[in-house]
Chains A and B, each alone.
Chain A
Amino acid sequence: MKKLYTYAVVALLLFSSCSKDDPIAVNEEEVITTMIVTLVPSDASTNVTLKTQDLDGDGPNAPVVTVSGDLKASLTYSGSVKFLNETETPAEDITLEVEEEADDHQLFYTVGSGLTMGVASTNNDSNGNPLGTKFDVKSLSASSGKLTFTLRHKPKKPNTGLADAGGDTDIEATFDIVIE
């Protein structure tokens, strides 16, 4: 009886330790590495691109934040946003998923003190509540300050803004903006 046990266990040990293949690498499909905001001015001058990119996701490297140029005063820009997962090749466009699940998402804009501009959503979810992946930016006088984009997952809808939206944050990116 005892021998049988010993053999059984030894056999199991050998069995489980022999078959060893390299584990499959996981490419995280939901990571958002990159957010690109494109602002198209109504006067057909140069587009302004705001970009934050963090290719190692939750890894130690900080995101690289770039702003392509300054905004012009008293001008309307038509804005759109793209969320990308660039750990995959080709990069996966996560904006599509967010727009598909519009009822569960909303992109909020926070204009920091000093900066004189207004931002308003121009697209809605199926219930007629703002989704925010398309928006208008109206710049006012020359100024500078921070502009923050916050993507909330499962916010309360409708809401009066970030303060009472709840939900959890998928993206939070801040850009230094200058209006000249």
Chain B
Amino acid sequence: MQSSVRQMIKDKKEKNQSRAKFMEKLVPGLLLLCAIISVLTTLGIVFTLIVETITFFNRVSIIEFFTNKDWYPFFGDNPDYGIWPLISGTLMITGIAMLVAIPLGLAAAIYLSEYASDSVRRIIKPILEVLAGIPTIVYGFFALTFVTPVLQNIIPSLPIFNALSPGIVVGIMIIPMVASLSEDAMSSVPNAIREGALGLGATRFEVAVKVVLPAALSGIIASFVLAISRAIGETMIVTVAGGATPKLTLDVTESIQTMTSYIVQVSLGDAGYGTTIYYSIYAVGMTLFLFTLIMNLIAQYISRRFREEY
């Protein structure tokens, strides 16, 4: 019996040898191709962005782009192309969002990793992750039709389109991201370290804040930075509820425009192919891309640099 099995294996091998060899060579090639597609796409996007951005800067000087304080591209004969109003709108939304998301997300993470029982965690974590799966357009309408009226009750002078409402809602949207990633970082701190602190008479809160939080700091900060980058790139919520008034302001009750919502506005509008306005969205897109790229690089650097070995 033994020898016959051996024989069967040998026969099979000989029969399939050429095909097996071919597959062995083909499979890595196919897999490589799949891997390359995403790299090529990224390169393609960056390439398009750069080429069109250069076209734009041939028509509008880069100095004006960064020094002009007005962004009025639709002003017929005398348009203004100063990026700052769009940047300030974007940063204001991001700032409000982080003010909402960091405390709430971190508190949720501390609760989930340090206090919640297994059964509670098993219920809450999936719900948090559902929150992350809601389409952003839904959040946009939530901001416009629920949050803004509520805020108007508190601040009667608040216009329908303002920075505050979408900022808060973007914050709510990224809470799950902060909570989930921070919770992962805190849960991976070994229990032995918690026991060590509890054994010294520390309360659970002291353990959470003075031992677990510092030990998980790199992961927590990385979650903040990723959340910031997500807030910068957020489009639908700010387009629906933030208005379309590019304004260099720090007043959260005013209508503003972010980089993303400007791109949406132009893409949907009737700016013809080849016009300066058409090319301007690439310059704005490039600026946006640089912002999020820098944020992601910072996140990577932080999680490598501040990793506490335990």
A, B from the same assembly: no
Which residues of A are interface residues toward B (Cβ below 8 A)? none
Which residues of B are interface residues toward A (Cβ below 8 A)? none
